[in-house]
Structure 1
Amino acid sequence: MGLPFKAIAVDMDGTFLNEKHDFDHEKFREILTELHQRQVKFIISSGRPYVRLRKDFADFYSELSFVTSNGARLIENDQEVALQQLARKDAIGVIDFVNQRYADATTLVFHTKQSYINRDAPKNVKEFLEYFAGCSCIEVSDWSVLPENGILEVTFHVPDSSIAKEIEAAYNQEFGQKISAFASAKNAVDVNAYGVNKGEGLKLLLEKMYLTGDDLMAFGDGGNDVEMLQFAKYSYAMKNGSQEAKDAAKYLAPANTEDGVFKVIKNYLSNN
């Protein structure tokens, strides 16, 4: 009996990566080789920008597909195949909106070519966020310097990411349907253009591969994984994941600290 899926999509933080923000490269090479032999696509589906993911998978990126910035930018064979930008006025608007209501928020803006961070961000937060940007960020004190095109995502580092839906509802009520907001981690809220999410990004990418959600197995742990987990026929929330992710998934995988993604995939490979 063959494998019941033809593509696998994995979130990064809290899912594919362990507590050290890394993964077992040797084990991944072994699994990826067998998946390729069985003609299964491997997709990284993350809120991270491509510049960061390209570094995370320096030895593998040419063999992978990417749904980056929560579905705003799709990469295949190291080439951009789709781009859904956040309008500059909406990016600046939501930054002002959040900063007025949540004084502790630190802002990071992902662009196709670089990233921007507020100049007065605490040093430790700035260093932490620059890791996710994958590059040194341009420090700004006035967000009007943002370029007209190429903005993918705004990420806010906050004390509690449970405010994500509050931000989304309040902003859209005041300005119309402009943004989608996700609690992507314990202290992170990601904002994309309205309707952009990992599920829609995967749908578009799979269409280019002549596949559908029925061909997909997906793994996630957070609020920005919900649409992806709902879209995939074989969806796994991590044991360490949020209740929101667990409610969206059909199955439960061992925790990211237990190599949960690898264990589930290897079980399928062994039994099929």
Structure 2
Amino acid sequence: MIRLIASDMDGTLLTPEHRLPGDFEDVLNRTLDRGIIFAAASGRQYVNLADCFPNHLDRIILVSNNGALVRKGEETIYVTAMSDKDRAIIEPIGRRLNHGIFIAQGIQGAYVERPEDRDIDDYMSAMPSFFSKIRTVESFDLVDDTLLNFSVCDFRGTQEHVLPLFQPLSDRYTVRLSGDSWLDISLHGSNKGEALQALQRHYGIRYEETAAFGDFMNDAEMLDHAKYSFAMENAHPDLVKHARFRAPSNRDHGVVKTILQMLDHPNDYPQ
């Protein structure tokens, strides 16, 4: 019996317009009424993720910052944070970017050091779609917040233009594409899979009792730790090998359709 369902947000649960499907509320209520825990897992910052579920913060789990922070209501279940040493290694590379923006994500908000040699207003004007709280600062050193991870947004495409810069850090950190225009840098052990395992330990839930949905490579570890692992029809090709099943695309509301199918016809999915 499934006791825990975890779903990525952008490209997975949310529609291409970055909205919850219209029938999500009914499906969530049915899921919770069955005693099943629902976790929304995203690369988004906590405050932005919480804004997606204003009426459910005490009912569901929020896994934000690609697994660096796990909370239910006011309870923090799991958290990892960057040390000064980590920052000294990662931040100089971010400052060398000639395009896009380098973002430090904290518990309270997100922060961007404004470059002296180029304008980033076009990028900053697009950020409210992804961050509820984001602002420019003179230096990350002036930020009074716990920094959890770093992100890069480059509308030209991060796989070609950004990943090569940060790939050499892969022996020390998790460097992952999280969208066509996004790349995330986090601590080893700070990913959605580790967050999912923390939830499993916290609630006494087994791998065999867990389902997970994702579309991009930052969802890979999460799918690895769920027996009922679903790659969306619109998923990155490399993610598919981490999934036992496929779900319809986010455009077709694949997560809610599949959850309903699991609730009503559990035998459709092999044990």
Pairing of 1:176-191 with structure 2 (within 5 A): 177=172, 179-191=173-185
Report the equivalent of 1:59: 55
Give the Cα separation in 2 of the matches to 1:146 and 1:96: 17
Q: How many angstroms does 1:191 deviate by?
A: 1.0
Give the Cα separation in 1 of the matches to 2:153 and 2:238: 20
Could you tell me which of 124, 130, 133 is aligned with 2:122? 124
Give the stretch that moved more between structures: 45-54 or 105-114. 105-114
Q: How many angstroms does 1:267 deviate by?
A: 1.2
Whether 1:157 and 2:162 are equivalent positions in the alignment is: no
**Alignment identity in percent?**
25
Whether 1:70 and 2:87 are equivalent positions in the alignment is: no
Q: Secondary structure at the match of 1:61?
A: coil
Q: How many angstroms does 1:119 deviate by?
A: 2.2
Q: Secondary structure at the match of 1:128?
A: helix
Q: CA RMSD in A?
A: 1.9
Report the equivalent of 2:105: 110
Q: Secondary structure at the match of 2:127?
A: helix
Q: Secondary structure at the match of 1:44?
A: strand
Q: Give yes or no for contact 1:203–1:212 (8 Å, CA) kept in 2.
A: no
Q: Give yes or no for contact 1:10–1:16 (8 Å, CA) kept in 2.
A: yes
Give the Cα separation in 1 of the matches to 2:100 and 2:86: 17
Q: Secondary structure at the match of 1:59?
A: coil
Amino acid at match of 1:97: I
Q: Secondary structure at the match of 2:58?
A: helix
Could you tell me which of 126, 130, 133 is aligned with 2:131? 133
Q: How many angstroms does 1:213 deviate by?
A: 2.1
Runs of at least 5 residues in structure 1 that lack an aligned partner in the other structure: none
Runs of at least 5 residues in structure 2 that lack an aligned partner in the other structure: 267-271
Q: Secondary structure at the match of 1:133?
A: coil
Give the stretch that moved more between structures: 158-167 or 126-135. 158-167
Q: Give yes or no for contact 1:119–1:139 (8 Å, CA) kept in 2.
A: yes
TM-score by length of 2: 0.89
Q: Give yes or no for contact 1:87–1:193 (8 Å, CA) kept in 2.
A: no
Amino acid at match of 2:257: K
Give the Cα separation in 2 of the matches to 1:75 and 1:251: 28
Report the equivalent of 1:5: 2
Aligned residues: 261
Q: How many angstroms does 1:37 deviate by?
A: 1.9
Q: Secondary structure at the match of 1:62?
A: coil
Give the Cα separation in 1 of the matches to 2:86 and 2:102: 14
Whether 1:194 and 2:188 are equivalent positions in the alignment is: yes
Give the Cα separation in 1 of the matches to 2:243 and 2:21: 25
Report the equivalent of 1:236: 230
Whether 1:34 and 2:30 are equivalent positions in the alignment is: yes
Amino acid at match of 2:107: T
Q: Deviations over 1:59-83 (max 9, x none)?
A: 2222101211111111023321221
Q: Give yes or no for contact 2:8–2:40 (8 Å, CA) kept in 1.
A: yes
Q: Give yes or no for contact 2:45–2:110 (8 Å, CA) kept in 1.
A: no
* Distance 1:165-1:107 versus aligned 2 partners, 3 A rule: closer
Give the Cα separation in 1 of the matches to 2:131 and 2:152: 13
Give the Cα separation in 1 of the matches to 2:168 and 2:181: 19
Q: How many angstroms does 1:208 deviate by?
A: 0.6
Q: Secondary structure at the match of 2:149?
A: strand
Q: Give yes or no for contact 2:14–2:20 (8 Å, CA) kept in 1.
A: yes
Amino acid at match of 2:46: Y
* Distance 1:140-1:199 versus aligned 2 partners, 3 A rule: same
Q: How many angstroms does 1:232 deviate by?
A: 0.7
Q: Deviations over 1:44-63 (max 9, x none)?
A: 11111110111111122221
Give the Cα separation in 2 of the matches to 1:235 and 1:168: 29
Q: Deviations over 1:187-232 (max 9, x none)?
A: 1001111221100111011211111222110000001000011111
